[in-house]
Structure formats: structure tokens, C-alpha cells
Chain A
């Protein structure tokens, strides 16, 4: 399939992104470049200087809501992309409503408890919608430890599944972006296998 045919196909789909930090902002950027038609992006945070070591924001955006800043950046890649930016704190109750109609959902939270929460919500209340989870991206180096695996048709995991973020093991752009790119790559693979 030619590049413009891929874009034409991906344009028909809607992808949910839960969190607009290191994983979510970069994954959204990659999916926008690939040509996904609609992105539903949720976050309640504002851009801070310390985010710029890995997140897809710029100096002049510090203080802006992440959802608004990301929408602005994605529109600079593709003016036709439909970005539904929700300035909202996701929880067990609102996830099925916020991401209703999404063909795939990307888990891009920071805390492990939130990852477990969205897995429970999507696997229980949104059966049939694939969820792409990230687990283990802290630190630097160790390229070979980063992997991705399909658990089943509804659950995919990207990351080393071992390195937890801490004060001495911070998240840095290279490993975060590798994992975000693996998540985006799963999304594209799933959508390219779908007919619409």
C-alpha cells in the first residue's frame, strides 16, 4: 500500500489517548503524522519546564493546559486532524463515556495504579476495544530490554516491564519516545488490519 493510501485509510479511525505526558504527547504526535483522523486526548495538567526533557511541548507553552498545547502542536503537523481535547481527570467511572466510539485506546498514564485502573475499565466495560499499555521506560540505555507483546486481541504491552520511575531513575526522552513509538506502531498495525 502506498503512503497516501495508508493515510486515507487511517483517516477513518478514532484513537483515545489517556494522558498527555511523555507517552501520550509523543504517541499523539506519531499518530497525527501517520494520518489517524481523530484523536481523543485527555489530561488535566499544565505544561511545566521540567516536562520538556521528554514531552512534545515547547518553551513558550509552559503554563498552558497540556490538552490545548498538544492540540496546537498537532494542528501544526496536520491542519485537518480532528483533535478532541478533554481537560479532565480520568477515573474508573468516566473512562467508558470519554472514550466511547474509539477504535483503539492508548494508556499513557504515569502511575501504575492508574494503569491498572484503565485496564480494569476497558477490559470490563469496553469489551472488544484494544488497549495499548506502557510498562517500564525509566532511565537510559538498555535498548535490548525494551520489548512489546500482544497479550491477546484486546491487550498489548510495551516497555521493559521492570524499570520503575524514581528520583534516581528518571524518565528521559529516548526510552520514553521508544515506548510511545511502540504503542503508536501497535495502533497503526491494528487499524491497518481493520476494514472500514
Chain B
């Protein structure tokens, strides 16, 4: 499938992925981050049951401490 990940087209072998799987494949899981799929905020508790399908628009934002 092809998805839009942070405004770039990316291709994956799988037909669909959970948010949790995507974070692991892209090695995004090490840092605090926030995720939106097709404009909808995904709470961390739903990472393993939210499915990403072909054509979806996924935004992953790293949250770094400091302010």
C-alpha cells in the first residue's frame, strides 16, 4: 500500500498496518510523539487497534522536551 506519511508518499509491503506497527517499522517508537490519521488525533491507547489503509494521510510529530 501507499500512504502519505508526513506529506511524503511511502510504500509498504503490507496491505494495511496498525499505527503501532507503522511506528515500529519507521523506528518512530523510541520518542514521545503524537499521531494523526486523516486529520483525526489517535490516542496512544488506540495505536494497536487503529488501522492505516492504502491512501491514508498519516502525520507523526515528535515531541521534544523543552520550553
| Cβ of A67 under 8 Å from chain B | no
Answer yes or no: B15 CB below 8 A from chain A CBs: no
A151→B36 contact, CB < 8 A = yes
Q: Which of B37-67 contact A (CB under 8 A)?
A: 39, 41, 43-44, 59, 61-67
- The answer, yes or no, to whether A65 is at the interface (CB within 8 Å) is no
Determine if B41 and A138 form an interchain contact, defined as CB atoms under 8 angstroms apart. no
Closest B residue to A115 by beta carbon equals: B63
Q: Which residues of chain A have C-beta atoms less than 8 A from B43's C-beta?
A: 120, 124
Is A115 in contact with B36, judged by CB distance below 8 angstroms? Answer: no
Interface size on A, residues (CB 8 A): 37
Q: Which residues from chain A contact B34 at a C-beta distance below 8 Å?
A: 115-116, 119-120
CB-CB under 8 A from A52, the residues of chain B are none
Give me 23 A-to-B residue pairs in the complex whose CB atoms sit less than 8 angstroms apart, sorted by A's number: A22-B67, A23-B67, A109-B67, A112-B31, A112-B65, A113-B32, A115-B63, A116-B63, A119-B34, A119-B63, A120-B34, A123-B41, A124-B41, A134-B67, A135-B62, A135-B64, A136-B66, A152-B39, A155-B59, A159-B64, A161-B64, A162-B64, A164-B66
| Cα A159 to Cα B66 with chains together (Å) | 10
Closest approach, in angstroms, between the C-beta of B58 and any C-beta of chain A? 11
The answer to whether B65 and A19 touch across the interface, beta carbons within 8 angstroms, is no
Q: Which of A137-196 contact B (CB under 8 A)?
A: 137-138, 151-152, 154-155, 157, 159-165, 171, 176
Please, how many angstroms separate the alpha-carbon atoms of A129 and B6 in the complex? Answer: 22
Q: Nearest chain-A residue to B36 (Cβ)?
A: A151
Is A37 interfacial (CB 8 A cutoff)? no
Query: From residue A55, how far is it (CB to closest CB) to chain B in Å?
Result: 10
Closest CB in chain B relative to A41 CB, distance in Å? 14
A108 at the interface (CB under 8 A from B): yes
A16: Cβ under 8 A from any B Cβ? no
A135 touches which of B39, B41, B59, B63 (Cβ 8 Å): B63
Query: Which B residues are CB-close (under 8 A) to A152?
Result: 36, 39, 59
Task: State A22–B61 Cα separation when bound (angstroms).
Answer: 21
A102-140 with Cβ < 8 A to chain B: 108-113, 115-116, 119-120, 123-124, 133-138
Task: Report the bound CA distance from A23 to B67 in whole Å.
Answer: 5
